[in-house]
Amino acid sequence: MHPNDEVLVAIALGDEVAQGDAEHVRGCAECGATVTELAGLIARVPAAGDIDLVEPPAEVWTRIAAEVAQQPGEVSSVAQPDLPAAADGRWSRRAWLLGAAAAGVAVGVAGAQLLPRLAQPQPTVLMRTSLDTLDTQQPGGQATLIAQGQSLQLALNVTPLDPGGGFLEVWLINIDLKRMVSIGVLPAGVTQQGFAVSGDLVDAGYRIVDISRELLDDRPEHSGDSLLRGTLV
């Protein structure tokens, strides 16, 4: 009987395993190939200790499965393995390799492309809101506050808006309804656009997303002509 993935990972990591398992792997072409592939993956993983991943393994796992599904000729659907969760919420290199072993992900090119990308900070949705017309509350799109690494972005996805004779300006209005800041211009005809925002602003209560129609005039303040609005929660 082939040893389980955990044992194969241990061998690939150079850990001590039961003598019977070690002997089996030495004499088994299949297990030997798996260990070789896992060792190849280890070589590509940043050397020092564990990969600094803070997201839940399940989420990572979904991405691995998705990536694998995109590889022609690879497994198209894989079950999520039962991965051990590290105590500090980080995902250990061992868990990584277990996932790879269970999926059969440990294949040359896929692994080489996969690991660096998975080690990148992935976007996390912090808040979101629907954007509706102010007068009739018709849905007009969504705004999503996304954190990626150290940066924060407000991503808009809206129905095409008519700037009239002017332009479309995107605002964050404070929930006290007394203060607002402009975070940029939404080009005419653009329905998806991201705007860099600061976390301090959001923390200070600037959570109402507002898209207004502005004229090319000498009044930099909000025109009062809001097309869409929603409050991030």
Give the footprint of Zn ion on this chain (CB under 5 A). 2, 28, 30-31
Q: Under a CB-based contact definition with an 8 Å cutoff, are residues 187 and 158 in contact? A: no
Nearer to Zn ion, 30 or 217 (CB): 30
Residue with tokens 């909000």: 222
* Cα dihedral across residues 2, 43, 106, 81: positive or negative: positive
Q: Shortest approach of Zn ion to residue 92 CB, angstroms?
A: 24
Nearer to Zn ion, 28 or 185 (CB): 28
Angle at 181 between CA 171 and CA 150, to 5 degrees: 90
Structure tokens at 85: 């969760």
Structure tokens at 199: 């976390």
Nearer to Zn ion, 37 or 210 (CB): 37
Report CA 204 to chain centroid distance, whole Å. Answer: 25
Nearer to Zn ion, 1 or 87 (CB): 1
* DSSP conformational letter for 79: P
Q: Under a CB-based contact definition with an 8 Å cutoff, are residues 68 and 103 in contact? A: yes
Nearer to Zn ion, 2 or 179 (CB): 2
Q: Under a CB-based contact definition with an 8 Å cutoff, are residues 93 and 45 in contact? A: yes
Q: Shortest approach of Zn ion to residue 2 CB, angstroms?
A: 4
Q: Shortest approach of Zn ion to residue 77 CB, angstroms?
A: 24
Q: Shortest approach of Zn ion to residue 30 CB, angstroms?
A: 5
Q: Shortest approach of Zn ion to residue 29 CB, angstroms?
A: 8
The residue number with the shortest CB distance to Zn ion is 28
